[in-house]
Structure 1
Amino acid sequence: MAGDYYDVLGISKDATTDQIQQAYRKLARKYHPDVNKDPGAEERFKQVNEAYHVLSDPETRKRYDRFGEDFRRIPEDYDERVGAGFDGYSGFGAPGGTRIRYGRGFGGDAGFNIDDLFGDFFGGTGGFGPIPGADQQAELELSVEDAFRGGKRQITVGGRSYTVTIPPGVTDGQRIRLAGQGGKGAGNAPPGDLYLVVRIKPHPLFRLDGRDITVELPVTPWEAALGATVAVRTPGGEAKVKVPPGSSTGRRLRLRGEGMPNRAKGAGHLYAEIKVMVPPKLSARERELFEQLAAASTFDPRRTP
């Protein structure tokens, strides 16, 4: 295909998703072969459609911005995205140039389908036969505890309600597929799928790193100095952890397998990070004992070993 995709759609390189969609709808109506009988209109329509497919998908757009027109020939292991091409195209990288078919994904991820674009004026399919519905995407916001436990949840997307089964231990960015719940197809073609992208909300206590969880563990000076078995909070409830004698703030204690669960690869770990706390207000007896300790101890944490 000749020309920069941004130029084809007449947009800037920092265009938003909405601006890409608006430009596409405008040009697709203008150059659709059922409307525009100019000999070059069909080719122009194909160019507009191809440019839209590339730029409307965030991952594909990222690869295009990085590699330019060669992005399809760059090995996929350069990026996190796995799998060549995307729905709605065939023959990319084949000898003799690019072939385009009007198939799955026509209309992209923006949430509209061919009926929305051309309406009754084009008879629904625009003369191209049955067109499967577009896959759609929405975010699913979860607390750390909900992501840890999983289970069923009622959600509403686009005015429709769904019962979603959340696998225990889902991680931020993971996708949950609802088959057949995406954009409707045209010409008796099947609908697309709806993908829910998990977004885990920040938590005041738990910090996530993949499947590992870190939680702050407050301990008293005497527990840190003498050692103790104390309770620690986890997303699944309370657990017990042994604080070794002589523990200082920042020491991390690992609870193996107490992180985010995962049947296939094994659960992550939970790390209890010690934080030594002192009483905000000392009683007379506590002050007396601390003064005795200060007089008896030779420990100086600021002294270089």
Structure 2
Amino acid sequence: MARDYYEVLGVGRNASAEEIQQAYRRLARRHHPDVNSDPSAEERFKEVNEAYQVLSDPQTRSRYDAFGPDFQRVPEDVDPGVYARAGGDAGQQRRWWNRAETRPDFDEAGFDFEDLFGSLFGGRRAGGPLRGADQQADLELSVEEAYRGGTRHITLSGPQGPREYDVTIPAGVVEDQRIRLAGQGAQGEGGGPPGDLYFTVRIAPHPRYRLVGRDIHVDLRVAPWEAALGATVPLTTPGGETKVRVVPGTSSGQRLRLRGEGMLNPKGTPGDLYAKVRIMVPPTLAPRERALFEELAAASDFDPRR
């Protein structure tokens, strides 16, 4: 059974969005495979990331609070109160049904489990209309597409041949987020409505950017003199080019934080962008460059190994 997402992040169920974000960042730094060599760190990092994706989105968090681990498979139009009366799952419902001794369709209080089962999962009594099943497919996006949003034309193959869809991608979607196309799932039976089609977002690996939740990580390449003297250097981000201030004496490996410049979040706080400094040395030196570096080496008493 999946662990409770609040437990994963170590926060209470009434935690604010800021508290959830702070807990996520603390745990992500601790368990990220780049900094933690423990064999279990990667799995723990994925668990933390999954919990944050759900709890950082107010709408998804609300469904999780209402339906628990079943929040993704319970249809959108199910009332949380009705679901709770069913015991939270179909298995519990069937156990109650089997305990009804006198009337198989009702419990002692006159509760109609068959009608409830239909309201939960789209069905009706035998012979009546039956809602079509929900369907799922993966949607791979580049970091830039996920950042900006837009429309993607998708063709899916199926038993009845290929079907085409125009999928509207909200700006700021992240890994495992789902995009719903209402009424585009399997056809219903007996005149019942069709199910829904869900596209699960997958972010393709990128040569420049790495996503951690809604935070974007990127390398910032600087020349030795820019790092030593300080400079304002250009940086290409998914949102376009920006300028980054490198303070004098910056060393390779330092991270510069651009608050709010990560993935957008229409329903909450956007992520941040972290630029990791990489000092780049010219692969070949012109005679004048070599002379200047030799002069610097002779004049400086700096020892980077101390």
Question: Which of 192, 196, 201 does residue 199 from structure 2 map onto?
Answer: 196
User: Counterparts of 1:157-196 in structure 2 under 5 Å?
Assistant: 157-158=156-157, 159-196=162-199
CA gap 1:206/1:95 in 2 versus in 1, 3 angstroms: closer
**Quick one: which amino acid aligns to residue 204 of structure 2?**
K
User: Is 1:150 aligned with 2:149?
Assistant: yes
Distance in 2 separating the partners of 1:84 and 1:204: 32
**Quick one: which amino acid aligns to residue 287 of structure 2?**
A
CA gap 1:270/1:94 in 2 versus in 1, 3 angstroms: same
2:135 equivalent in structure 1? 136
2:266 equivalent in structure 1? 263
**Quick one: which amino acid aligns to residue 141 of structure 2?**
L
Unaligned runs of 5+ in 1: 1-75, 108-113, 115-124
Query: How far did residue 280 of structure 1 move?
Result: 0.2
**Quick one: which amino acid aligns to residue 81 of structure 1?**
P
Q: TM-score, normalised by structure 1?
A: 0.63
User: Counterparts of 1:10-29 in structure 2 under 5 Å?
Assistant: none
Q: How many equivalent pairs are there?
A: 211
1:81 equivalent in structure 2? 69
Question: Which structure carries more relative contact order (alpha carbon 8 Å, separation 6+)?
Answer: 2
User: Counterparts of 1:219-238 in structure 2 under 5 Å?
Assistant: 219-238=222-241
Query: How far did residue 81 of structure 1 move?
Result: 2.7
Taking only the aligned residue pairs, the percentage that are identical comes to 59
91-100 or 156-165, which deviates more: 91-100
Q: TM-score, normalised by structure 2?
A: 0.62
**Quick one: which amino acid aligns to residue 170 of structure 1?**
V
Distance in 1 separating the partners of 2:95 and 2:70: 25
CA gap 1:245/1:98 in 2 versus in 1, 3 angstroms: farther
Distance in 1 separating the partners of 2:222 and 2:192: 62
Unaligned runs of 5+ in 2: 1-63, 99-112
Larger Cα-atom Rg: 1
User: Counterparts of 1:1-305 in structure 2 under 5 Å?
Assistant: 81=69, 83=71, 86=74, 90=86, 92=89, 93=92, 97-98=96-97, 101=114, 103=118, 127-158=126-157, 159-303=162-306
CA gap 1:237/1:95 in 2 versus in 1, 3 angstroms: closer
User: Cα deviations across residues 102-158 of structure 1 (Å, max 9, x unaligned)?
Assistant: 748979xxxxxx9xxxxxxxxxx9954211100000011100000000011211123
SS at match of 2:292: helix
Distance in 2 separating the partners of 1:256 and 1:80: 32
CA gap 1:183/1:300 in 2 versus in 1, 3 angstroms: same
CA gap 1:252/1:196 in 2 versus in 1, 3 angstroms: same
